[in-house]
Amino acid sequence: MIPLRDNVPANRFPIVTVWLIVLNFLAFLYELRLGENAEYFLMDYGIVPVRYTNHAVASHFTLVEQALPFFTSMFLHGGWIHLLGNMWILWIFGDNVEDHLGRARYLALYIVGGLMAGLVHVYTNAGSQLPTIGASGAVAAIMGAYFRFFPHARVETIIPPLFFIIELPAILFLGWWFLLQFFNGTLTLLGGRGDFGGVAWWAHIGGFAFGFLGASRYVRRRQPYPSEAYS
């Protein structure tokens, strides 16, 4: 399912969301400039689980070198589709969460959600030697917060493979997305891999769960959402 827009108008311009999108694009353009050296760059600044779970490997890195990838990895992407998919989801759902939380708390949710997603990935994929990159965990935290704040909003959605457009309740759209992550994540654990198919499913799950739980203390009284207003 591909979201097109929701029907929750934001009261102010989502400056933090825009800057996060800009930073992700700038980071990806830098990756492209590296050419063949990008592989080494991603090994240094992506999350490589074995660096944290194997003492012999971990001993080669300083504390700063170990901590840094948890921050840098959430601004790196493996291709245009990876980048555009994450940034589009952030644009659809981020403006309302930023509006609801305020800019500082929203940014904190994004960053800490990404960190938690990275930790969950390391835990569920301890032996992996592959770098994990992408804003998916941080974006999933924003989706989890949106699910908590606006469960009765409606999301205009493209349904493949026929590509017809329908309007879905946010609780259905995001609930179905989460169930897919959980189903695929469970299969990867049974198969012994947490990044099966190149997707860190449990990072998504961890980010979403953190966003949902972290947002719970900031829930306001539900307001009606006009079906004719889309953002």
What are 88-116's pLDDT values in tens digits? 999 999 999 999 999 999 999 999 999 99
% pLDDT > 70, the chain: 91
Phi-psi region of 226 (alpha: psi -120 to 50; beta: other; left: phi over 0): beta
Q: Which residue did the predictor score with more confidence, 225 or 41? A: 41
175 alpha-carbon distance from chain centroid: 15
- Give the model's confidence band at 149: pLDDT under 50 very low, under 70 low, under 90 confident, else very high: very high
pLDDT at 126: 87
Long-range contacts of 100-107 (CB under 8 A, 24+ apart): 100/145, 100/149, 100/218, 100/220, 101/145, 101/215, 101/218, 103/15, 103/16, 105/218, 106/16, 106/17, 107/16, 107/20
Mean pLDDT of 20-44: 94
Whether domain 2-172 has CATH 1.20.1540: the reply is: yes
Report the predicted TM-score, pTM, of the whole model to 2 decimal places: 0.88
DSSP notation for 105-126: HHHHHHHHHHHHHHHHHHHHTT
Spatial neighbors of 110 by CB under 8 A, at least 6 apart, are 16, 20, 138, 141, 142
Return the domain boundaries, the chain. Answer: 2-172
Mean pLDDT of 166-175: 92
Residue 58's H or E segment, with its range, is helix 55-58
Helix, coil or strand: residue 38: helix
Angle between helices 136-149 and 201-215 (to 10 degrees): 40
- Give the model's confidence band at 228: pLDDT under 50 very low, under 70 low, under 90 confident, else very high: very low
What is the Cα–Cα distance from 28 to 168, expressed in whole angstroms?
Answer: 32
Q: What is the 3-state secondary structure (H, E, C) of 167-230?
A: EEEHHHHHHHHHHHHHHHHHHHHHHCCCCHHHCCHHHHHHHHHHHHHHHHHHCCCCCCCCCCCC
What are 114-147's pLDDT values in tens digits? 999 999 999 988 888 889 999 999 999 999 999 9
The owner of tokens 């589709």 is 81
